[in-house]
């Protein structure tokens, strides 16, 4: 499995209670599932389930490339890579 760093921004960072964490996953879907599992009921951030709710609205960058509408199970992760978790930003 690839070792990756997941970086949280804005509301995702607040809900996770940390700026970044290390995970082992081969795909973006596996990484997101691991994030949900780690934070389910952990009491970090704004409370149980908050990060899972925020993730539903997020977009993702993998090693600087936008994931867009690709299926998360098709996005392969590289060892030493980075997943950026980007909630919607206000403004216009």
Burial 26-56 (b: 16+ CB within 10 A, else e): bbbebbbebbeeebeeeeebeeeebbeebbe
State how far the Cα of 26 lies from the Cα of 23, in Å rounded to an integer. 10
CB 69 within 8 A of CB 26: no
Could you state, in chain order, the average pLDDT of each consecutive group of 10 residues for the chain (92 residues)?
97 96 98 95 59 95 97 98 91 52
pLDDT of res. 45: 46
Q: Nearest 5 degrees, angle CA 38-CA 87-CA 26?
A: 45
pLDDT of res. 49: 85
pLDDT of res. 47: 47
Q: Find the distance separating the first CA and the last CA of the chain, reported in whole Å.
A: 39
**DSSP three-state, residue 13:** helix
State how far the Cα of 69 lies from the Cα of 76, in Å rounded to an integer. 14
């Amino acid at each position: 499995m690839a070792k990756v760093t997941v970086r949280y921004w804005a509301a995702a960072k607040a809900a996770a209670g940390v700026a970044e964490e290390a995970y082992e996953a081969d795909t973006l879907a596996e990484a997101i599932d691991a994030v949900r599992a780690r934070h389910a009921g952990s009491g970090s951030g704004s409370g149980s389930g908050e990060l899972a709710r925020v993730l539903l609205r997020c977009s993702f960058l993998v090693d600087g490339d936008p994931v867009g509408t690709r299926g998360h199970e098709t996005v392969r992760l590289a060892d030493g890579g980075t997943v950026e978790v980007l909630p919607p930003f206000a403004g216009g």
